Amino acid sequence: MLVSIELMLLSVTLIFLINALAYNDNFGQLAALFIIALAGAESAIGLSILIVYYRLNGVISLTNNVVTKS
């Protein structure tokens, strides 16, 4: 889910940059820088969630968490 949010933010950034280039507007470039900073913060949050998950479980693999019936 975090990757899809990252992809959407980067596509909006591309739209802002294309419009800034087409209309020679500095607001699009400023908005793009803000969105890139926001996407970086979102990536940092995702990485911190992954680190906390690793510290709690000792492994990141999701296949080890499957309970098998015997």
3-class DSSP assignment, residue 23: helix
Tell me the per-residue pLDDT of 1-50, one tens digit each, with 9 for 90 and over: 778 888 999 999 999 999 999 999 899 999 999 999 998 998 899 899 98
Please identify which residue in the block is written with the tokens 């906390």.
52
- Could you tell me how far CA 25 lies from the centroid of its own chain? 26
Q: How would residue 68 be classed by pLDDT, with cut points 50, 70 and 90?
A: low
49 Cβ contact list (under 8 Å, min separation 6): none
Residue of 14, 45, 55, 8 lying closest to 32 (CA atoms): 14
pLDDT in tens, 26-35: 999 999 999 9
Give this prediction's pTM: 0.70
